[in-house]
Amino acid sequence: MATNPPKGDGHRNGMVKERSQTYNPKTQIWTKRDTNTGKFMDGKKDGTPFKGVRKEK
């Protein structure tokens, strides 16, 4: 993974690991999931996908 200077400025470099997201068309919410356990973690109210989290098919 590339690291972009300056270090320690509080932003993430690259993608979130061990997480994925899927869209639920019934509720119109993007839901984040832990790929190790398969448990759903969080949902996003505004209808936009999470930044830096890969999408499931």
Longest CA–CA separation in the chain, Å: 42
Asked if residue 9 is part of any domain, the answer here is: no
In terms of residue numbers, what domain contains 30?
Answer: 19-55
Asked if residue 36 is part of any domain, the answer here is: yes
Asked if residue 38 is part of any domain, the answer here is: yes
- pLDDT at site 4: 66
Q: What is the pTM of this model?
A: 0.73
Asked if residue 32 is part of any domain, the answer here is: yes
Whether cis (ω within 30° of 0) applies to the bond prior to 6 is: yes
CA angle, 6 then 54 then 27, to 5°? 125
Asked if residue 7 is part of any domain, the answer here is: no
Asked if residue 33 is part of any domain, the answer here is: yes
- The answer to whether 26 and 43 have CB atoms below 8 angstroms apart is no
Asked if residue 30 is part of any domain, the answer here is: yes
Asked if residue 8 is part of any domain, the answer here is: no
Q: Specify the number of domains making up the chain.
A: 1
Residue-wise pLDDT tens digits, 1-54: 566 677 778 777 788 899 999 999 999 999 999 999 999 999 999 999 999 999
